[in-house]
Structure 1
């Protein structure tokens, strides 16, 4: 298996037979990795790191297969694995690799170490199962964001093109709270949801409610959401730059269930998504405020005439929707191991596709649509579609379905004329 890069915290010039820590800084860089095969980690293997001047540093993998070296100069380094320290039944495809060290960063060194009995071939069924699990994971993360997007459309009629930036905001705040400020991941996650929920409350209180009261049309409000989306993208890019930032520096541990390989972070993200989506569904079906939300979504004028404070319901919807989008953002950043200034923009069409496929304005339709979109995106390359066209495949299926069922999977048909 490839040597997974491991980012560790505090620095020494070389690693010993136990786990050591390495922290890159303004004038220091780290080269690190975890040496393992498909059967497990490899301790007591010697790694050498040589700079351009010929200076050699040596590291020995720990009991967990981890190693790291700290360097004081930028430039090209040659990382070599000493084959004589490998067990007899193992071999490495390429024992020397080059790494370009850069101050403030940890560079991975990847060695492909295999046992003699290793077989890289996989069956089509195994690939489908793995892709199905990946699709379910993507669908659940999309559902967290698309449910809120659908509720906003249902209660206000507004298609919020800035919704994807709330997903980015969740990942960015996760990076700020956990990585930069050093908070516990669980505490940071809760703060991310609260901060994003407050941003939704603030948006409706300061921007959307005044615009509704002024009688601004939906077309003009959609243009406002596009402007807000572009503004937030530039803000994110200004503070983050063009690179990818990570919420958690350490590489996640991996579990294998039969033919399925998945990280622990993905398992936790999927579990959290299921619990939260179930809670939202229960609230919509069984609570008073949920019934009021569905009433406003079905007929705002009739709901208002029945004594429901539509402004409060809409504000609550904005608050919950932004909180769910923020949760989706931090979980997405953990699953894909990073967040960029345009991460939300990259999935914007998938969010709208999920909402449209499930039925505009229906929360449960958005959930179903997100799961379908996630599965199609991940499974389509396995059945022969080029990888670059996997998003196009999902949108094509959306178009074909709407030709047959214009209201979406769970939407209600409307009379025209």
Structure 2
């Protein structure tokens, strides 16, 4: 009897075929989600490869015949400043830091732009200029004692010649300067907050991750400016484009599927909080826990027009904010997409029954909100943080954005503009009577008082229930 021969089948032939995936009527959403994930991974990779830790270069050895400075400690904190004498930048001027015992801890020399920085351990230091290194016709007024703290911008300002200190400025001049500064700050809050208000008006979503869109815009501009060596204006334009793409893909990958599943607004709010925390700490991991400066606009000349004193960066921020906000207002009033946005914000069901593509309007709002948030992040870093980027800057601005749009009227673009300007003015003017470190409290307290009197906000309308 012949033996039975059993053939061995290949393993691949024994595997069951995987069932097909039914993606419904919209086959684009899964691919947009993948693109969104790839874009975020690319941005994180660019930050990781070109961030502060990777950008460090080995310190060259000192030239022969000179003594090397002691290496900074492991917990060293960066202290910097600009030597500016009435608009003239002082180069090759020596600055040194003395600890509490009077011993020199660090010494450096200013660059051609007047910029200097040293690294010292956290503590109290006295910063002084070596007078022999100053030009013959320039004199420094006094030394500066400063508490150096890790995790924040440590800036030292020296006064030269007959420059006046803040104590020499009259209350009238302080009031005018703080009013101008409050207008600038309010316009920046409005730039970042208008998109948040439009998103709420068209979708009903209270997006707590909007602050991270602000931070991502500033971080993207920093990556293009510092890592790739682009000029800050071009880097800011690319950052706005990145913000638009992140806003669009954010909607396509997360919020549109949730709306299709009829997810409640409370559940969406919880998702936005989780997304905000995740993005915030991803930025912390891959960017830096310290404030990192842009390469451009570190030195600013202060212009003086009577009692008004303003730097070029703040003046440019005001002009850009006004132009952009006027453009947004014209978009809402004169264009078809703007009228559709206002219709969806007023009554979504009625707008949809009138033939308006609501999902198209929502996509446009998310793109517009992402671009405005990125622009607001860049302007906030340049004018408010002294040309520096912080990993939680958007979270700090988020509460003020909510205060502004709630004060003006939730879901209304013009109300958001008015409310944000009022909050900015109140925040800056409050420094005339309270400690500047507590200035954000004043705006929030005024918000509570006004909402007790008018809960719907300044330009909001009362809603009838039942």
Residue among 397, 410, 434 paired with 1:360? 410
Q: Report if the CA contact (8 A) 1:354-1:366 is conserved.
A: yes
- The aligned counterpart of 1:329 is 377
1:391 aligns with 2:440: yes
CA shift digits 1:96-147 (9 cap, x unpaired): x9999xxxxx997754433399895111111111111111111111101111
Would you say 1:372 and 2:411 are equivalent positions?
Answer: no
TM-score of the superposed pair, with normalisation by structure 2: 0.72
Whole-angstrom distance in 2 between the partners of 1:219 and 1:399: 23
Structure 1 Cα separation of the partners of residues 244 and 91 of structure 2:
49
Q: In structure 2, what is the Cα distance between the partners aligned to 1:408 and 1:67? A: 46
Structure 1 residues 259 and 12: alpha-carbon distance in aligned structure 2, compared to 1, 3 A threshold: farther
Q: Is 2:465 the partner of 1:413? A: no
Report what 1:309 is aligned to: 357
Partner of residue 122, structure 1: 169
Change over 3 Å in CA distance of 1:253–1:211 after alignment to 2: same
Unpaired runs of 5+ in structure 1? Answer: 1-8, 15-28, 101-105
**CA deviation vs aligned residue, 1:222-275 (integer Å, no higher than 9, x gap):** 111011101101111111231111233552322223233322122112211111
Q: In 1, are the aligned partners of 2:214 and 2:373 still within 8 Å (CA)?
A: yes
Consecutive unaligned residues of structure 2, counting only runs of 5 or more, are 1-56, 63-76
CA RMSD of aligned residues (A): 3.9
Aligned partner of 1:228 in structure 2 is 275
SS of aligned partner of 1:256: strand
Give the Å deviation of 1:396: 1.7
| Alpha-carbon distance in 1 for matches of 2:374, 2:335 | 23
Q: Distance in 1 between matches of 2:234 and 2:420?
A: 28
- State which drifts further: 83-92 or 183-192: 83-92
Larger radius of gyration: 2
> Conserved in 2, the CA contact under 8 Å of 1:265 and 1:334?
yes
2:74 match: none
**Per-residue deviation, residues 318-341 of structure 1 (Å, max 9, x unmatched):** 110111001101111111121211
Deviation, 1:204, is 1.2
Residues 1:30 and 1:226: Cα distance change in structure 2 (over 3 Å): closer
Alignment map for 1:14-413 (pairs within 5 Å): 34-37=82-85, 39-41=86-88, 47=94, 66=114, 81-83=129-131, 87=136, 90-94=139-143, 111-115=158-162, 120-248=167-295, 250-257=297-304, 258-335=306-383, 336-337=385-386, 338-382=388-432, 384-413=433-462
Q: Distance in 2 between matches of 1:242 and 1:173?
A: 16
Alpha-carbon deviation of 1:82? 4.6
Change (3 A) 1:407 1:83: same
- Count of residue pairs brought into register by the alignment: 388
Structure 2 counterpart SS, 1:113: coil
